[in-house]
Structure 1
Amino acid sequence: MTTLACFGAGRIGRIHAGNAAAHPGTTLKYLVDPMAGPEAEAVAASCGAALVSDDRVFEDPAVDGIIIASSTDSHADLLSRAAQAGKAVFCEKPISLDFRLTRQVAAEVEAAGIPCLMGFQRRYDTSFRQVRERIASGVSGPVEQIVMFSRDPSPPPGSYVRTSGGMFRDSSIHDVDMARFLLDEPITRVFAVGSNLISDEIRAAGDVDTLTITLVTGSGRMAQVVACRRGPMGYDQRLEVLCSREVLTVANQPVSTMSITTAEGTLAAPPENYFLERFRQAYAAEMAAFIALIRDGTQPLAGIRDGLEAQRLVEAAQLSARTGRAIDLTPDWSPEP
């Protein structure tokens, strides 16, 4: 039996806790949430978990691994404590909003040698993985250009923006991670532009709501991220990869594949409502991967180093957007002076 504990009972915590509790041969023993109330109690009850303090989790030798799905500002400390306690960890991104602390904690996790999976769930999505596997097979030929569209149904409130890390660190980090996953070659230049076209509340919080990021590898291959906090069509998550022999695409996943056709035209279902619904399968698959990592050492598709490198790219993108210049990345580049 694999025994887990989950930190966080919010929207992503509920998903991870539920997937952990439902996995065969796994028990979710504990749920930790400093804002514990009726919602956290309901999550705990549905998963058969006890609501406890964080100390209880780290002191219990029966806990094999922890899931960090709590607020962003708690990630670094929990990762560090997991490293000290020798417990496997599944951590949502980003590691920290302080890049110096991100590097420090990543080093601690690597030095401790604990199993670690970072929550880049798109790597576990069936369609995105098929693109990666087809590229890796050589059938498509070398990748030349990638374009990703990433648009939310509606803007988040300013309060969320101020604590989550903003559009670059909280949202576009997924896109740049997917660019790394598909290019499979170091990115050496980043250029980004950000604007406020939608939300005065996001502007007041010091963030942008519309952005474009261009990533270039040393050989000249390119990936472009086109992102916005508002999608008139709903949650818009598309990918196109231009290879030398094929073009690979991932379209939006509709709520239903049924369409209605009349003399006036065809009516189709909209895309899945938001990321929780769109990546339902991917979240279950990455939890299964975390449990396999604990049980038999099967290496995850994203580890602590991927979390560090994806954040390094969005830090460069944010700096580029702020200064209006391209950022050239050496292996040891850091946003710190």
Structure 2
Amino acid sequence: MITELMNGFDVVGGSGRTMKNLAVFGAGRIGGVHARNAAELPDVNVRYIVDPVESDARATLARALDAQIVSTEAVFADGSIDGVVIASSTDTHADLLLTAAKAGLAIFCEKPVSLDFHTTEKVAKVVEASGVPCLLAFQRRYDPDFRFVRERIASGEAGDLEHVVMHTRDPAPPPRSYIERSGGMFRDQAIHDFDMARYILGEEIATVYAVGDCMIDPEIGAAGDIDTAMVTLISVSGRFVQMVNCRRGPFGYDQRLEALCSREVLYVENRPQRGVTIGDGTGFRASPPMNYFIERFSTAYRAEMAGFIDHLNGGPPPLAGIRDGLEAQRIAEAALLSVKSGQPVNIGADWRP
């Protein structure tokens, strides 16, 4: 077999690989990213697009990939389909996960699994019991910078990890309609940080203390959510994680990480749109950061899909699975409870909201 280096990751190729037929649920922004990334791989055929909403985006995506627009029932009735990519609205994830697991199809699913934690727990058990390959789309795990930090800490080169700080700020608040369907700040936006905390630490979280309020957009508050939060996590071994999350970044998308270790401090900074700094008599001007998460994590999204298909061809398991989705949401639910109660919440594998 041949090993190629793709975006810093080993991707297995050669005669051992077979063509995989996929169906993509959701033709919106992230669905389009995943569908196009899958179609770019030489051993993938995106056969079907499933999205009940007629739109230019759906039609354009189907034409670009030479895919058919079909119903959910048509996908699961076709025995030639090898896997599904679930990038539809969150309220459809659980049913699609259960149906795909029952059908024995490989699953690539966006987070969160469900807005209801008990449903997430049930789905995780069913998917795990089915034995089907399942990737939960925490794309930061596939970002070369974040993965480098994780591996440097895990190898011991950086020394003992003591403290992690993360900043996540969106460029501007999303519309109220999105807030009402997404599950809110902790289940939707900060869930990536909760997952990254577990990934970088290499262990579970024991205590969650969160404060939050609606300080930017009254419409978000009217929808029952917050737009600004600070969270402190304590791991089972006593290490600290501090998170700053906000729905507005005055200079654009802000996504940074700092890991304090006994021998090194590791930084993941914002990526600028241009790697050029302009200097003149008034000072220095640098490029703003990449516009949003789609641009910032474009390499990670491609590597994530390549890793999924690699696993279907006998490669290593995904960097994030259904259990990671469950545990990240457990932290999110504890953060919600902490904001409401004003108290830290102690959690473990048996904790439920």
1:142-181 deviations in Å (ceiling 9; x for gaps) = 1100000000000001110000000010000000100000
- 1:121 maps to 2:139: yes
How far off its partner does 1:230 sit? 0.3
SS at match of 1:149: strand
In structure 2, which of residues 236, 255, 270 is the aligned counterpart of residue 218 of structure 1?
236
What is the alpha-carbon distance in structure 2 between the residues aligned to residue 37 and residue 170 of structure 1? 24
Q: SS where residue 319 of structure 2 aligns?
A: coil
Counterpart-to-counterpart distance in 2, 1:102 and 1:334: 11
Q: Which ranges of structure 2 fall in alignment gaps of 5 or more residues?
A: 1-18
Q: CA deviation at 1:53?
A: 0.4
Q: Deviations over 1:64-110 (max 9, x none)?
A: 10000000000000000001100000000000001111001111100
Deviation at 1:59, TM superposition (A): 1.1
Equivalent position to 2:48, from 13, 30, 53: 30
Contact persistence 2:210–2:335 (CA under 8 A): yes
Matches within 5 A, 1:81-230: 81-230=99-248
Deviations 1:238-262 (A, max 9, x none): 0000001100000000001011111
Identity across the alignment (%): 58
> What SS class does the counterpart of residue 275 from structure 2 fall into?
coil
> Which of residues 13, 27, 32 in structure 2 aligns to 1:9?
27
- Aligned partners of 1:297, 1:255: CA distance in 2, in Å? 34
Q: Tell me the TM-score normalized by structure 2.
A: 0.94
Residue aligning to 1:18? 36
Instruction: Give the C-alpha shift of residue 219 in structure 1.
Output: 2.1
Quote the Cα distance in structure 2 between the aligned partners of 1:218 and 1:283: 30
CA distance in 2, matches of 1:36, 1:55: 18
Q: Which residue of 1 aligns with 2:6?
A: none
Letter in 1 for 2:276: M
- How far apart, in 1, do the equivalents of 2:164 and 2:33 lie? 30
Does the CA contact (< 8 Å) of 2:169 and 2:245 recur in 1?
yes
Length, aligned pairs only? 335
- For 1:231-310, what aligned pairs fall within 5 Å after superposition? 231-310=249-328
What residue in structure 1 maps to residue 10 of structure 2? none
Unaligned runs of 5+ in 1: none
What is the CA-CA distance between 1:131 and the residue it aligns to? 0.4
CA distance in 2, matches of 1:233, 1:167: 20
Alpha-carbon offset, residue 297 of structure 1: 4.4
Aligned to 2:90: 72
Report if aligned partners of 2:205, 2:348 keep a CA contact under 8 Å in 1: no
Deviation at 1:38, TM superposition (A): 2.4
- Between the aligned partners of 1:89 and 1:159, the Cα distance in structure 2 is 27
- Across the aligned residues of Structure 1 and Structure 2, the Cα RMSD in angstroms comes to 0.7
Letter in 2 for 1:238: R
CA contact (8 A) 2:27 2:49 kept: yes
Aligned mates of 2:313, 2:73 — CA distance in 1: 24
Structure 2 Cα separation of the partners of residues 182 and 296 of structure 1: 26
